[in-house]
Every structure is written in C-alpha cells, then in structure tokens.
C-alpha cells in the first residue's frame, strides 16, 4: 500500500475531500503543527476512514528519509519561515519516484480576501462547535 503524508493536514478536510474513500487503499498519515490535528481522528472515524495523525512541525517531522510515496501539502508551505526550506524538508521524505503535490500562493485574490474577511466576521462570535 502506498504511504501518504498530508503535511499540514489541519482537521483532515483536504484528504477527506480529495482522497475520500481512496483512503482505504493507502496508509495515510496526517501531520500538523496546530492543535487542529486533534479534531482529525474523530472526523475520520465518523466517516469510517482510516488514518494516523501526529502534531509536529513539518520542518522537523519525525520520519525517515525516503519514506513516503506521496506527499500532499495544501495551502501550508508559504506559512512556514521559509517556503524553500519546507519544500526541501518534504522532498527528503519522498521515495525515489514519489510525488510531492502542494499548493501555495503569494497573494490572495480580492474575492478570496473578501470571502475570508466576511466568513471570519461571522465566525468570530461563535464557539468552535457552532462554527463547524
């Protein structure tokens, strides 16, 4: 089974949306520096999806080099102190022929900025349970 790392998985939403039922055909590890990773196991369990999760800094993941077949990092690397260092740190974890798929942005588009501000304003007064 391919070994997949979701670097900066948060609550695991990207994996649930992009990989979905395919999670049954891979060994999935979600890792995030934030406490959001604590929500992921329950979200996966509720949907009957397998996965392992750790809280760790992607610049210092506790994984051996050449371990992963596939690494996913959606909207995370540009939030590290050095995007270049983050890419290099993840690339070292890839097996020969492995795939690193990531999304970064330099600047958000005006519509995204508006949507983010609008949503934050409405969520600000809610508890995490209400917001979810």
pLDDT of residue 66: 97
Q: What is the pLDDT of residues 107-125, one digit of tens each?
A: 667 787 778 788 888 888 8
Whether residue 45 lies inside any domain: the answer is: yes
Whether residue 20 lies inside any domain: the answer is: yes
Number of structural domains (the chain) is: 1
Please say if the pLDDT value at position 70 is more than 90: yes
Q: What is the pLDDT of residues 4-22, one digit of tens each?
A: 999 999 999 999 999 999 9
Please say if the pLDDT value at position 71 is more than 80: yes
Kind and range of the H or E run holding 103: strand 94-103
Whether residue 48 lies inside any domain: the answer is: yes
Range of the domain at 27: 3-106
Give the predicted TM-score (pTM) of the model.
0.81
**Phi/psi of residue 88, each to 5°?**
-65, -40
pLDDT of residue 5: 98
Token pair for 7: 């670097």
- The CATH number for 28's domain is 3.40.50.150
- As a whole number of angstroms, the distance between CA 121 and CA 115 comes to 10
Token pair for 118: 């609008």
pLDDT of residue 129: 77
Whether residue 112 lies inside any domain: the answer is: no
pLDDT of residue 108: 67
In contact, 59 and 31? CB cutoff 8 Å = no
DSSP collapsed to 3 states, 22-84 = HHHHCEEEEEECCHHHHCHHHHHHHCCCCCEEEECCHHHCCCCCCCEEEEEEECCHHHCCCHH
Q: What is the pLDDT of residues 37-69, one digit of tens each?
A: 999 999 999 999 999 999 999 999 999 999 999
């Amino acid at each position: 089974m391919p070994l997949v790392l979701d670097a900066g998985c948060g609550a695991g939403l990207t994996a649930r949306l992009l990989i979905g039922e395919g999670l049954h055909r891979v060994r999935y590890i979600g890792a995030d520096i934030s406490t959001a990773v604590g929500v992921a196991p329950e979200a996966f369990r509720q949907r009957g999806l397998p996965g392992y999760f750790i809280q760790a800094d992607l610049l210092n993941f506790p994984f051996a080099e050449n371990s992963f077949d596939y690494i996913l990092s959606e909207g995370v690397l540009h939030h590290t102190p050095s995007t270049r260092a983050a890419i290099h740190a993840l690339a070292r974890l890839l097996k020969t022929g492995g795939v690193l798929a990531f999304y970064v942005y330099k600047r958000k588009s005006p519509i995204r900025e508006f949507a983010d501000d609008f949503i934050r304003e409405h969520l600000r007064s809610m508890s995490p349970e209400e917001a979810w």
